[in-house]
Amino acid sequence: MQRRRFLTNILGAGLVIKPFTSFSRKFPLDDNNIANGPARPINIYNNWSSYDELSDVVKLTEELAMRELNEVIRLKSHGGEIDYYMMDAFWFGKEGGYRTWNKNHWPDGPDKWLEGCKKNNIIPGMWFSTNLITMGGQQVLDVIPAWEDSLATDHNILCLFEGGYLNHLSETLQIWADKGVGAFKFDFAYFEAATKSAKEKYSLAEIQEKNKVAFINMLKVLRARNPYLLITGYNGFGGEMENTFTPFKKTVDLRWLEVFDTLYSGDPRFSDIPMMNIWRSQDNYSDHMVRQFEFNGLPIRRIDNCAFMIGKTGTCYYRATNAWKGMLILEFGRGGWSNVFHGNLELLSDEDMVWFTKVQRLYLPLQLHADWSMIGAIPGTGKYYGFKAKEEDGMVLTIVNPSQSMISETIGHNNFGEGTVLYSDGGFNPSVKNNILLLGPEQLVVIGFGKYANPQYALGRDESIHIPGSIEPIEVPFIENGRNSIRATINSISHKNIRIFFQQFGSDGFPYRTWGGGPPDGKTMDKYFVIRVAQGGKAIPLAIMYDKMIWSGLSWAAGEIQQNDYDANLPINIECSSLEKENLSIKAKLYEVSYD
């Protein structure tokens, strides 16, 4: 996983309050205290990306955490639903073994935050690393005496089946549960961790199994004592998250469903499908990962797609609120019952929050009552796909066209009659007629059938996104122009915008990602992937969106020149280059596009 690789390469007292909210479970625990997922669709605010201490330098402080609590309260005042506030990584004091908070940033501990959650009927949650104590190139947790005999031969991680670490962690979790914490998020699991004596006795496979079994049994005991707890799993519990082209494989141990309510399917990052709107490529990544986890046998409702992340830090690529509406729709529209919203909620206006609640009102009942399925192609193939929520008296389709073409697709009405477009990206106006959907390149659309074809469910259009009204490929040969560089000349073209894509591939024929690092020392990707366009020896301006520090890597670049910036009667020279050190194959595609 890139987040795990990134970690490897780069780098108080609480008010005693009893749990104040508990859910009656629609899927009750069985006699062995095995989890069956959340009681109902839930909404979680997570403060990660409002700060970022891994791929940025913004610290988690009490002031920041309380600011975001006030924003959660503001969202609730507009009718929004937030059930949990998850306090993410780095709340803890280095010396305290997860029993104290960072005294520099939380001088009085978490009491004010816990009480603020309780007062507003929000369940507090806390992040824990499963067994990693070194992050970002530095040790973030001291090995306290109770953990010493669990320290692995790799001193970055702790063994779970030998020594006192796991028992101490179990006791710590119970301490926080007794203080009113109702959710635990587990991250960064390294099941290869073994002490010197364990390595001498067991094979790697045996060590991994012993660590897994020990952790599973601990969580079962914790859940038996606290049946109301929400327990979620993140990095280290399966899934291949580095790219969107590797064929699906069974990599998730389904025993995790016995102890985790949900498993996440990867931090937001960009897919290996080049797109002019880089944020739609990020949507495509999360869509692809949900499909992979379903392939691995997870019920859709128990997949946490973890895809909604607005903010001003490196972890979300300084996205702010760019294309946030489509991101929110897909967070719900993928069908999982864990709806997680990360980041700087203060970036949303009151009007935005009203729209946010309208999306919730459409999708939350569907999550609870509808039959959910995925339609179309695997998202990473770059072809039409979507998510279907079907009830007896209506249906909602959330559909994406990730390709660089206009598409016409037949969508089944299932005797619900004609569909109605409830939402779309701006620019091209998609249509549904006689069950034929017309959709523009890179476009997202939501279609309602039956009772959902009613204007009361309409979500409007996001005019901050401009989908072309026409797009056609430009057939022109590219030739090698030195190492990791190609060039071409366009001699004749209609007077339209020109969209340029290039992508780098390794010797195996697969897309090859380049990493520029994160703040403060990282480089933006336009410093690695360079598109030069010139006419008559003069550079032509190029609009790009990939000029960002991207901790998760990128395999492609995209740009567009405007029709008024060149002379259609003169040749245009295009050069695409990668500064990657490896010898790669560079391929490019060109399109002429126009906007309505």
Residue pLDDT, tens place only, 260-297: 999 999 999 999 999 999 999 999 999 999 999 999 99
- What is residue 177's DSSP assignment? H
Helices 62-77, 350-369: axis angle to 10 degrees equals: 70
pLDDT tier, 494 (very low <50, low <70, confident <90, very high otherwise): confident
As a whole number of angstroms, the distance between CA 84 and CA 482 comes to 54
As a whole number of angstroms, the distance between CA 263 and CA 289 comes to 12
Contacts of 118 (CB under 8 A, 6+ apart): 17, 20, 124, 180
From the candidate CATH numbers 2.102.10.10, 3.30.530.20, 3.20.20.70, 3.40.1380.20, the one assigned to the domain spanning 2-368: 3.20.20.70
Residue 364's φ and ψ, nearest 5 degrees, are -65, -45
Alpha carbon of residue 163 to chain centroid: 35
Mean pLDDT, residues 427-456: 96
The structural domains of the chain, with segments of one domain joined by +, span 2-368, 376-464, 472-594
Q: Which of 523, 563, 564 has its CA nearest to residue 546?
A: 523
User: In Å, what is the CA distance from 438 to each residue of 206, 419, 442, 447, 494?
Assistant: 54, 12, 12, 12, 24
- Whole-angstrom Cα Rg for the chain: 25
For residue 460, give both structure tokens. Answer: 């409007």
For residue 485, give both structure tokens. Answer: 């560089």
C-alpha dihedral, 69 to 346 to 55 to 5, nearest 10°: 70
Q: Which of 59, 66, 127 has its CA nearest to residue 264?
A: 127
The domain 472-594 having CATH identifier 2.60.40: the answer here is no
Neighbours of 70 (CB within 10 A): 13
Say if pTM beats, i.e. exceeds, 0.85: yes
As a whole number of angstroms, the distance between CA 296 and CA 399 comes to 22
pLDDT at 204: 98
Positive/negative CA dihedral, 361, 270, 386, 594: positive
As a whole number of angstroms, the distance between CA 506 and CA 583 comes to 8
Are 544 and 559 spatial neighbours (Cβ–Cβ below 8 Å)?
yes
- What is residue 540's DSSP assignment? P
C-alpha dihedral, 316 to 321 to 325 to 327, nearest 10°: 0
Query: Looking at the chain, how many residues does it have?
Result: 596
pLDDT tier, 596 (very low <50, low <70, confident <90, very high otherwise): confident
pLDDT at 13: 28
pLDDT at 29: 47
Instruction: Please report, as a single letter, which amino acid is at residue 78.
Output: H
503-536: per-residue pLDDT in tens? 999 999 999 999 988 777 889 999 999 999 999 9
User: In Å, what is the CA distance from 596 to each residue of 106, 427, 428, 466?
Assistant: 53, 7, 6, 9
pLDDT of 25 above 70:
no
Class of domain 376-464: mainly beta
Residue 76's φ and ψ, nearest 5 degrees, are -65, -35
As a whole number of angstroms, the distance between CA 113 and CA 66 comes to 7
Q: What is the mean pLDDT of the chain?
A: 93
